[in-house]
């Protein structure tokens, strides 16, 4: 069973075993508008929670994507680099950015679950 957690910077990490699939939330892609460029981190890169990990650019702005948890990048979504619009079409599915091997699964407790994230989004309206 997978578990999804969210950061206040609108990144998600979907945990599957000891790995996390990282991307930006649907809310974040809506705020950005049409995504025209995505850059993923190199495989093997060690990230600390909060480190800039990837870049997503839209017609409106460029945004850093921060690592929601610490760990090592073990895979990247090269499809999103060649077709960045996937982030707009399916941010949570085909628009993921990278996979990370979790260094400390305890860090997940610092992130919001789906109901808490939904409540957080209400405070932004």
Distance of alpha carbon 103 from alpha carbon 72, whole angstroms: 7
Domain extents in the chain? 3-104
Tokens representing residue 22 in the block? 């990282």
Residue 73 has a pLDDT of 98
Residue 5 has a pLDDT of 97
Q: Which ranges of the chain have pLDDT less than 50? A: none
Looking at domain 3-104, its CATH class is mainly beta
Which stretches of 2-92 are assigned E, i.e. beta strand? 3-6, 11-16, 19-24, 35-39, 46-47, 52-58, 62-66, 71-76
**pLDDT tens string 71-94:** 999 999 999 999 999 999 999 999
Residue 12 has a pLDDT of 98
**Which of 58, 59, 53 lies closest to 11 in space, CA to CA?**
53
Helix (H, G, I), strand (E, B) or coil at 112: strand
Residue 39 has a pLDDT of 97
């Amino acid at each position: 069973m997978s578990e999804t957690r969210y950061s206040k910077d609108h990144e998600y990490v979907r945990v599957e075993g000891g790995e996390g699939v990282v991307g930006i939330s649907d809310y974040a892609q809506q705020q950005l508008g049409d995504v025209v460029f995505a850059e993923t981190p190199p495989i093997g890169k060690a990230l600390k929670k909060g480190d800039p990990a990837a870049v997503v650019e839209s017609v409106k702005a460029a945004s850093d994507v921060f690592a929601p948890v610490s760990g090592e990048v073990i895979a990247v979504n090269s499809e999103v680099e060649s077709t960045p619009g996937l982030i707009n079409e399916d941010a949570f599915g085909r628009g993921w950015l990278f996979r990370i091997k979790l260094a400390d699964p305890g860090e997940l407790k610092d992130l919001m679950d789906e109901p808490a994230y939904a409540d957080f989004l209400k405070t932004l309206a």
